[in-house]
A and B are shown apart, each in its own frame.
Chain A
Amino acid sequence: MCQARPVAYKGRWTERGRGLVRFTGVGMRYGGPRGRAAWGLLGVSFELAPASFNWLLGPSGAGKSSLLRLMHLSLRATEGRVEVLGEDVARLSRWALTGLRRRIGVVFQDDRLLPHLSAYENVALPLRIQGVTEMRLTADVGEMLRWVGLEHRAEEPPEILSGGERQRLAIARAIVARPSLLVADEPTANLDEAQARRVIALLRELHRMGTTVVVATHSETLPVEYPAPALRLEEGRLVSHG
């Protein structure tokens, strides 16, 4: 992504020096069977600096996915305050939430590519959703596919790509609209080591270009290889941050 523009941060947080992402006493309670509720997250507070790269660590079931889903607005906190890109999400209208979603990129553990669309159309999707003109779309999608090394597979359906290729395609889709925040939930979990490194390298490059990146992983080796601030969760509680 050689010609990528630096992401222009807009919003109140810059003027007021606020964190790009801030959780204050956030709890996530899931309704259990026969009224028995379970806490996925409890009393979680932290702040992420703008344009930072962050690990989100913890064993399976610790609450990493819950936290990331709150961050990319596919879940609403049952307690506490979630601020994303300087906006208190509980106070946003449905319309404003839609606008905010367009500034957040998401990479899921299972790539969640659309099977009825080609690789090219999958990457183009966020731009189509945002009503981008065909000319700009062609340029941006081509550039993204080159960046993740998949320009030669543009017309293939996702199902015939390898796991690593699919995950890179998912990253291309997550960042094609130049989000201010990129959230990745175990993006390397299904990949071999070489592919995992390649994916992490892409995410770090994106961070260097000014995007705030949060990557969840239950791997203990990746954070050692790529040192960065880490949020550590255990049984729904934040046990360390730094």
Chain B
Amino acid sequence: MARGALRGLRGRDPLGLRRAFADRLLPALVAAMALLAALALAGAHGAGQLAQRWQAGAAGPALVTLPAGADLAAASAALSPHAEVAPVPEARMRELLAPWVGEVPGLPLPRILEVTPTDRAGLEAAVSALPGARLEGRGESVAQAVTLAAGLRALSLLLLLVIAAVAAALVAVATRAGIAARRETIVILHELGARDSDIAGRFATRLAVLCLGGAAAGTAAAALALWFLAGAAVPVALSRPAAWDDLPWTGLAALPLAAAAIGWLTARLTLRAWLRRLP
């Protein structure tokens, strides 16, 4: 029998799946999970943005203070293998301090070097080798904050995976319930010569549609909430007004499609496994 000779199932809904899956529970649960997934996505995105900002700050210039009367030229030479060094001129220091201390000609001032590290560890070692010198920087805490942000990001992605797995399990359970409701119908279609792929395809399409609808609703609700949340949180966290790309729009738009794909694939695999038991 030639492979091409078998044509596929036609008809609007011969398996009666609209009624078998009339229950609104699955779309509602998928909506809830899409909402969680959207929050996780926004979390990953926000953590990424924070990390970026902190990293930019850490890479920027720091200050090395030396005791008054220290040899600026020698200190610069000692630090220059590990950083770009720019002494802050004494005149500029006096100018900066004038509003607070006034013009005090004899006031001893610390010497300050502005350094942009190229090798932070080397710089730290060199600074501690200079008597009385101190590195003023947020290096340590920024590195920790960046690690934290990376951890948050990884956690959010893990959360997405967990949500996807739970969604797949949920679809599998719903599909099995649908099979139970239409068991006799499936067996009859099989015995009348329906292809496994046709029966599985009908279920897959139905569940993909349900997941798409549920996830679209859940994502829309989440996007709305996140938009207001970003408006309040971005100025605090990033010291600038919220912008359009503070939300991961591509990811959010992909959520309903991902849900549909999970529904389609899970239903198809569940059906295929079940149909294989038929002779």
Residues of A within 8 A of B (CB): 72-76, 94-102, 106, 112, 114, 116-117, 121, 124-126, 128-132, 134
- Residue of chain A at shortest CB distance from B189: A129
The docked-state distance in angstroms from the alpha carbon of A123 to that of B11 is 13
For A124, the chain B residues whose CB sits under 8 A away are: 11
For B198, the chain A residues whose CB sits under 8 A away are: 129
The docked-state distance in angstroms from the alpha carbon of A73 to that of B7 is 20
Beyond A121-B14, A124-B11, A131-B10, whether A112 also contacts B184 by CB under 8 A is: yes
- Residue of chain A at shortest CB distance from B2: A99
Contact A101 B192 (CB under 8 A): yes
B6 within 8 A of A: yes
Residue in A75, A106, A128, A134 whose beta carbon sits within 8 Å of that of B9 in the complex: A128
For B188, the chain A residues whose CB sits under 8 A away are: 112, 114, 125
The docked-state distance in angstroms from the alpha carbon of A102 to that of B184 is 18
Cross-chain pairs A/B with CB under 8 angstroms, 18 sampled: A98-B193, A98-B194, A101-B191, A101-B192, A102-B193, A106-B191, A117-B14, A125-B188, A128-B9, A128-B10, A130-B7, A130-B193, A131-B7, A131-B8, A131-B9, A131-B10, A132-B10, A134-B10
- Residue of chain A at shortest CB distance from B188: A112
Residues of B within 8 A of A (CB): 1, 3, 5-11, 14, 16, 19, 184-185, 188-189, 191-196, 198, 279
Contact B191 A72 (CB under 8 A): yes
Beyond A102-B193, A112-B188, A132-B10, whether A117 also contacts B279 by CB under 8 A is: no
Query: How many pairs of A and B residues are in contact by the CB < 8 Å rule?
Result: 74
The docked-state distance in angstroms from the alpha carbon of A134 to that of B11 is 9
Contact A98 B14 (CB under 8 A): no
Contact A125 B189 (CB under 8 A): yes
Extra pairs beyond A97-B279, A99-B1 (7, CB < 8 Å): A125-B188, A128-B10, A128-B14, A129-B9, A129-B194, A130-B7, A132-B10
For A74, the chain B residues whose CB sits under 8 A away are: 191, 279
For A112, the chain B residues whose CB sits under 8 A away are: 184, 188
The docked-state distance in angstroms from the alpha carbon of A102 to that of B189 is 11
Beyond A74-B279, A94-B196, A100-B1, whether A125 also contacts B14 by CB under 8 A is: yes
The docked-state distance in angstroms from the alpha carbon of A93 to that of B191 is 15
Beyond A98-B6, A116-B19, A124-B11, whether A129 also contacts B185 by CB under 8 A is: no
- Residue of chain A at shortest CB distance from B275: A94
Contact B279 A129 (CB under 8 A): no
For A94, the chain B residues whose CB sits under 8 A away are: 196
Contact A76 B9 (CB under 8 A): no
Q: Return A75 CB to nearest CB of chain B, in Å.
A: 6
Q: Return A119 CB to nearest CB of chain B, in Å.
A: 14
